[in-house]
Structure 1
Amino acid sequence: MHIEEISIVNFKNLNEVKVGFSPKLNCFIGNNGAGKTNMLDAIYYLSFCKSFFNASDQLNINHEENFFMLNGNYHRSESKEVISCGLQKGQKKQFKRNTKIYKKLQEHIGLLPLVMITPSDGNLILGGSDERRKFMDGVISQYDQNYLNDLLKYNRALLQRNNLLKQFASARFFDEELLSIWDSQLVEYGTRIHEQRTIFVEKLIPVFQRYYSFISQGNEIVGLEHQSDLYGNDFEAELKAALSKDRAAQYTTVGIHKDDLVLNIGDYAIKKLGSQGQKKTYLVALKLAQFDFIKEISGQKPILLLDDIFDKLDQHRVEQIVTTVAGEQFGQIFITDTNREHLDTIIRKMDTDFRIFNVQSGKVELAQ
């Protein structure tokens, strides 16, 4: 699967862009702030119906305009797909597949598998547990629509339960039977979510460790562990046991919304003791393992977006990453960099069809 062409109007600083891509390697080169990362984000948007960086869709509209439009032509298996999105200020965005409007955006997730590696992935290590849960949820949702549905229903039930707890505290009144309605929903959806997260992490760990070992040339040992209240515990019993604590806190203190991933290098948290290069290697290995996982489940090679990933890595690790992504297991790749030497090294190593684009002040042109 690959994207053949993209048309962009008023998306961030990209006012009017229309370019065709190589089915293998595509490189965007330009100074910081030129629009390279925005190109990757536009491709990401067409896969996930949202920006990788902006939680608010309105922020993706060029500040001097009232709307943005994205259109991508894809080659998927033996079929052609045209995916388009339009958003006008103050209105709801419209997503289309082959001119047919999606009734629910979640129906689109997983159609165009994609993995993006960016400097902001550092939040997986440095941020809170919500960042690591989003990572798990984002991967599993790409291939399991039932998981995504369960997650949405769980979060709605959690919101209702938390609102009830606040209302009880405010009114100095308590109705356990009313609360139990939401307890049963949390247990139903949460148990299934826990099962899928457990399977995902168990399968991810050996692939992740193999990638890390290759990139670091075996110099470090890394670990990954899924933490959850549901391991060895009955969720319904846990909710009952935590009831007095929940009432005092006025929110639900146990459940899969408290899950975390423990990220270690050796016997220690990489957050505390890992060097910048080790942290970057950890993230790249984690995302490449994500790529393998999605490819195996979906039967398609995801599009791989690499945004400025060579910063803070020594030459040996850069070469190991390039050697990895040059393999046949990878399909279409997009890379951004400010350093043309990096890109020339990649092109020589990969020995494949490629296109290089110069990006300057929101203008994107094929390099001569």
Structure 2
Amino acid sequence: MHLHKLSLIDFKNIAEAHIELSPQINCLVGDNGTGKTNLLDAVHYLSVGKSGFNFADSQCIRHGADAFLIDGVYRTSEDRSEHIVCSYKKNSQKKLCRGGKEYEKLSDHFGLIPLVMVTPSDTALINESGEERRRYMNSLISQLDRKYLATLVRYNHLLAERNKLLKAQQTPNFSEIMEVIDLQMAALGTDINARRKQLIDELAPHVARYYAALSGDREQIKLKYRSELNQLPFDEILRDAQPQDRANQYTTRGVHRDDLRMTLGDYTLRKYGSQGQQKSFLIALKLAQFDLIAGHSPVRPILLLDDIFDKLDMQRVEQLIRIVTSERFGQIFITDCNKVRLENVLHSNGCRYTLFNVTDGEIRTA
């Protein structure tokens, strides 16, 4: 499936745009701040129902306007059409419609149009706290397994109840209530741990393979899932942690503290990896994510590459283009502020593409 036509009204800095897209490579070129990334975010909205950059819906309305509209027509490999419209008006509910019919729940749309996006903000996965990496795992697994999201929601609800109980330890029947909560949390947390471990076991070899290709096999990386539950049963962890939890008045151990370990050789990527090595790792991670989603879906994901060449040497850029233009990838969007560089790389690899110039929110075919 690919996005054939895209129309935008009052979305971020784009007052109005109507463009027809290539089923292969779509290049968006222009200076920084002109709207290239905003167009990618519109494509993300149509797939996921929200911004890919953590913007609230109200922040995506163009300054001075009261609402935005994103209208996309997709074509499948059988030449069928899918019409998706996302709209939001100030002080109203966001609407997401398929074929003219509004979804009752946004989650019902999840997975229809799979998408993978690589952006400069992905560096948070390496440089920020474990919460970012847990959010990444949770989001990806939820795309593949809807039951996981329900399990995670129940776990987080119990975690909140447990923390509330730990702050009010004079509650009658404290021990009995804690025992009931711990029993339920242990069952749910064990399922979450198993699904995350499965995800990283599947992802890690793909990440290593893509990174080796990008680096010319000069460097090796590893991705590992860190969790106490890999060594001890969760009920035992919660029981052992109770004295510390009561002293701190919150739950100090559990799957809500899990993390990912990213290493370059024998050293942590966060501390010892250069900007180029870190970006190469993130690209490898997202390409591995693409493979995983493609393996679980009848539809190849759309690939969004935002400002992809920044911090990469030309050898890695050439390798990346060779990878993403292979037959296993489908529709691709690439943004760059350097038109000559982008065209030279694509021409040298014999790529067919459509080029769009973006200037102050206006998008025109070059």
Residue 227 of structure 2 corresponds to 228
Partners of 2:10 and 2:175 in 1: CA distance: 52
Residue 162 of structure 1 corresponds to 163
- Aligned 1:35-184 pairs, distance under 5 A: 35-78=35-78, 79-166=80-167, 168-169=168-169, 175-184=174-183
Answer yes or no: is the 8 Å Cα contact 2:13–2:361 preserved in 1: yes
Q: Deviation at 1:21?
A: 0.6
1:194 aligned counterpart, secondary structure: helix
Partners of 1:350 and 1:84 in 2: CA distance: 35
- Aligned 1:302-317 pairs, distance under 5 A: 302-317=301-316
Residue 339 of structure 1 corresponds to 338
- Counterpart code for 1:322: I
2:139 aligned counterpart, secondary structure: helix
Q: Deviation at 1:115?
A: 0.6
1:230 aligned counterpart, secondary structure: helix
CA RMSD across the alignment = 1.7
- Counterpart code for 2:61: I
Q: Deviation at 1:160?
A: 2.6
Relative to 1, partners in 2 of residues 1:6 and 1:189: Cα closer, same or farther, differing over 3 Å? farther
- Counterpart code for 1:38: N
TM-score (ref. length: structure 2): 0.95
Partners of 1:148 and 1:260 in 2: CA distance: 18
Q: State, as a whole percentage, how many aligned pairs show the same letter.
A: 45
Partners of 1:362 and 1:336 in 2: CA distance: 14
Partners of 2:182 and 2:76 in 1: CA distance: 42
- Aligned 1:3-42 pairs, distance under 5 A: 3-42=3-42
- Counterpart code for 1:125: I
Partners of 2:284 and 2:328 in 1: CA distance: 15
1:286 aligned counterpart, secondary structure: helix
Partners of 2:83 and 2:346 in 1: CA distance: 29
Is it true that 1:286 corresponds to 2:285 in the alignment? yes
Relative to 1, partners in 2 of residues 1:77 and 1:268: Cα closer, same or farther, differing over 3 Å? same
Partners of 2:82 and 2:320 in 1: CA distance: 31
- Aligned 1:156-305 pairs, distance under 5 A: 156-166=157-167, 168-169=168-169, 175-305=174-304
What is the number of residues matched between the two proteins?
A: 365
1:242 aligned counterpart, secondary structure: helix
Relative to 1, partners in 2 of residues 1:186 and 1:355: Cα closer, same or farther, differing over 3 Å? same
Gapped runs of 5+ residues in structure 1?
none
Answer with 144-153 or 328-337: which moved more.
144-153
Answer yes or no: is the 8 Å Cα contact 1:4–1:72 preserved in 2: yes
Relative to 1, partners in 2 of residues 1:148 and 1:342: Cα closer, same or farther, differing over 3 Å? farther
Answer yes or no: is the 8 Å Cα contact 2:165–2:174 preserved in 1: no
Q: Deviation at 1:244?
A: 2.0
Partners of 2:249 and 2:94 in 1: CA distance: 35
- Counterpart code for 2:195: Q
Residue 320 of structure 1 corresponds to 319
- Counterpart code for 1:72: G
Gapped runs of 5+ residues in structure 2?
none
1:71 aligned counterpart, secondary structure: strand
Q: Deviation at 1:36?
A: 0.3
Answer yes or no: is the 8 Å Cα contact 1:322–1:349 preserved in 2: no
